[in-house]
């Protein structure tokens, strides 16, 4: 895993533990890289599980996919070449090989939140939010299906970058995202509970980014 010019290049065999402890990447993502994997089983497990295996599976419960969708991420496939992670996430599973992950650097603010019934269990719902000089993103994972990514309007992203997002704008964003995100039930939680969690995680995430932009303490 290394920083090459304006991008982080992460080989497919990089472990989740390396992702969690890489100083440059953790600073760049404001700790969100660490937060996205810290509850996946335990350190011994994260020393073995890889970024390539985690993304290639495109699992519904994946914290890793949810997190990387919030960044400007591309994957390099042995046969298909470079594609955006968003496109890759929608591609049918075939026998290609994920060679590396490329994260382009921006002036980024991001945060990762997930709710688990018990620590180290699969997430009940995960939410990654990011804003940079170009756009703002909200990613909802563990719905329990595969993560989906929504873009903020340019006005919302601008306000969030400046720390000026109002309660009314937060509410409007939540209404839009919750209206478009298909949530479901499984053995971990009902659809109704996930709807409630989505509101909680989005509000906490947006407040954290808003306050960070104001130079205040993170919520």
Q: φ, ψ for residue 205 (rounded to 5)?
A: -65, -45
Q: Residue number with the shortest CB distance to ligand FAD?
A: 53
Using CB under 6 A as the binding rule, whether residue 29 contacts ligand FAD is answered as no
Alpha helices in 91-214 (DSSP H): 154-161, 167-180, 191-213
- Contacting ligand FAD within 113-152 (CB under 6 A): 122-123
Residue 87: partners with Cβ closer than 8 Å, 6 or more residues away: none
Q: Is 163 an interacting residue with respect to ligand FAD (CB under 6 A)?
A: no
Q: Is 12 in the site for ligand FAD (CB under 6 A)?
A: yes
Rule CB under 6 A: say whether 64 interacts with ligand FAD.
yes
| Shortest Å, Cβ 66 to ligand FAD | 8
Give dist(CA 191, CA 187) in Å, integer.
Answer: 11
DSSP β-ladder status, 148-151 and 136-141: antiparallel
> Near ligand FAD by CB under 6 A, which window of 52-60, 165-173, 186-194, 207-215?
52-60
Which are the contacts of 29, defined by CB distance < 8 A and separation ≥ 6?
A: 71, 108, 110
**Which position has the token pair 């969030």?**
160
Structure tokens of 130? 């990011």
Q: How far is the CB of 128 from ligand FAD (least distance, A)?
A: 12
For residue 98, give every residue at least 6 positions away whose Cβ sits within 8 Å of its Cβ, in sequence order, or none. 12, 52, 55, 56, 75, 76, 77, 78
Among 10, 14, 69, 98, which residue sits at the site for ligand FAD (rule: CB under 6 A)? 98
Least Å distance, CB 42 to ligand FAD, is 10
Stretch that binds ligand FAD, among 27-35, 49-57, 151-159, 173-181 (CB under 6 A): 49-57
Binding residues for ligand FAD, per CB under 6 A?
A: 12, 16, 40-41, 48-50, 52-54, 56-57, 61-64, 97-98, 122-123
């Amino acid at each position: 895993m290394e920083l090459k010019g304006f991008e982080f290049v992460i080989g497919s065999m990089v472990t989740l533990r390396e992702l969690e402890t890489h100083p440059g990447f953790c600073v760049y993502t404001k700790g969100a890289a660490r937060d996205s994997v810290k509850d996946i089983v335990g350190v011994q497990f994260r020393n073995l599980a890889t970024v390539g295996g985690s993304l290639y599976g495109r699992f519904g419960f994946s914290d890793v996919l949810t997190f990387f969708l919030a960044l400007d991420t591309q994957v390099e496939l042995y046969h298909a070449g470079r594609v955006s992670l968003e496109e890759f996430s929608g591609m049918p599973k075939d026998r290609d090989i994920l060679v590396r992950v490329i994260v382009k650097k921006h002036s980024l603010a991001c945060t990762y939140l997930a709710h688990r019934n018990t620590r180290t269990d699969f997430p009940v719902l995960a939410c990654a939010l990011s804003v940079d000089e170009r756009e703002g993103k909200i990613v909802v994972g563990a719905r329990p299906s595969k993560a989906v990514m929504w873009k903020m309007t340019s006005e919302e992203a601008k306000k969030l970058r400046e720390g000026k997002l109002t309660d009314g704008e937060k509410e409007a964003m939540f209404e839009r995202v919750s209206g478009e995100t298909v949530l479901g039930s499984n053995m971990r939680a009902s659809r109704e509970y996930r709807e409630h969690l989505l509101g909680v995680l989005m509000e906490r995430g947006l407040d954290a980014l808003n306050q960070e932009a104001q130079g205040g303490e993170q919520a």
